[in-house]
Amino acid sequence: MSSKTPIFFIGATGFIGGSVLQAILAHPKANTFEITALVRAEAKAKALESTLGIKTVIGSLQDYALLTESAEKAHVVFQIADADSEDPMKAILAGLKARFEKTGDKPILIHTSGTALLADDSRGEHTSPTITSDLDLAALARLPASALHHSVDLLVNAADADGYATTYVVLPGIIWGRPAGPLFDGPAPIARGSMVQIPWLAAPYVQRGRPGVVGKGAGRWPNVHIDDNADAFFRLFDAALFDLARVSHGREGYFFVEGGEHGMDEVVRACGEALVGLGLVQEAAPDVFTAEERAKYFGSDMFAFLLFSNARCTGDRLRKEVGWAPKHTTDEFIKSIPKEVEDFAKTLKA
């Protein structure tokens, strides 16, 4: 290895990835890191290089040879761009395996999945009593490979089991809040600066003139502020790089990231009230989406049911192993929704 730790970063211009990259660059030993980011657009690559002073390679997750080559050059790989595509992960793992076999250096992979892998089929009809801890290895082992995101998680686990990489799977809940910093500030931000879930709800509400729910809107999901999420990645990365014995990896290395949980009824109510206040709908109280509306507004029942399902969990491993302590609460999340709706409304006038 060179005098600097080579890091390959995938997802630098995203909502999650941009905030994590900024956190890593604020590490006390950041001057010992050599970061290369995968970027699709040349303009974004130049902006990243000039703003943050990191290297870039131009390409996408479909450039498998480039992924393999770049991963082979790295001691640490962050994958914060796609939780569901197996082929890009196979390409990354091929590079990590080649590095290990050629150099003896055992690389680190930090992969981003999501708590949607816990989503049930309640269809909004009830609140599930099941709350899964990431310390409950038996519960995690029972998850089917068909669970959302999970087939990729299992590829990551297998690399650790095969001994050529040390792997971690990070599973955030619904991420909210507004990140700040060089990637997000200014008139032409480099990275996306807002969550996507509120526009997913607000858009059909405006089109149909009223909020809607699936079933009774009784599902519950974990949530985490974008800064708390970035801190979770930072702490995990720091432990993996400098205090490996302190943190679990492989099959045990699942890390739910949650600062609390919310009911979908709370989110729908806050969204509806904000839309009424903006004069975009007349009625804040929701009714039930029909089957035709689910198809029209969400594309499929699968996505509509997912939004209103239960995915309840506790992120105990981060708290136990790396001392993670989120600073933001669910109450703050609900109070942030009117601002998200207001910004969504501005896009309607653009």
**What is the structure's pLDDT at 350?**
61
Distance CA 295, CA 349 (A): 25
Residue 62 class from Cβ within 10 Å (0-12 exposed, 13-18 middle, 19+ buried)? exposed
Take residue 230 and report the two structure tokens written for it.
């970035």
Share of the chain above pLDDT 90, in %: 97
Read off the pLDDT of residues 64-102 as tens digits, 9 standing for 90 and up. 999 999 999 999 999 999 999 999 999 999 999 999 999
Q: How confident is the model at residue 302 (pLDDT cuts 50, 70, 90)?
A: very high
Whether residue 313 is predicted with pLDDT greater than 80 in this model: the reply is: yes
Q: How confident is the model at residue 188 (pLDDT cuts 50, 70, 90)?
A: confident
Take residue 66 and report the two structure tokens written for it.
């480039």
**Cα 153 versus chain centre, distance:** 13
**What is the structure's pLDDT at 61?**
96
Whether residue 228 is predicted with pLDDT greater than 80 in this model: the reply is: yes
Whether residue 187 is predicted with pLDDT greater than 90 in this model: the reply is: no
Distance CA 65, CA 73 (A): 13
Q: What's the whole-number mean pLDDT along residues 162-191? A: 95
Q: How confident is the model at residue 2 (pLDDT cuts 50, 70, 90)?
A: low
* Cβ neighbour number for residue 178 with a 10 Å cutoff: 17
Whether residue 169 is predicted with pLDDT greater than 50 in this model: the reply is: yes
Whether residue 235 is predicted with pLDDT greater than 70 in this model: the reply is: yes
Whether residue 1 is predicted with pLDDT greater than 80 in this model: the reply is: no
Read off the pLDDT of residues 57-72 as tens digits, 9 standing for 90 and up. 999 999 999 999 999 9
Read off the pLDDT of residues 46-57 as tens digits, 9 standing for 90 and up. 999 999 999 999
**What is the structure's pLDDT at 229?**
98
Q: How confident is the model at residue 122 (pLDDT cuts 50, 70, 90)?
A: very high
Read off the pLDDT of residues 262-276 as tens digits, 9 standing for 90 and up. 999 999 999 999 999
Whether residue 130 is predicted with pLDDT greater than 50 in this model: the reply is: yes
Query: Which 3 state secondary structure label does DSSP give 250?
Result: helix
Whether residue 118 is predicted with pLDDT greater than 80 in this model: the reply is: yes
Q: Letter for the amino acid at 181?
A: G
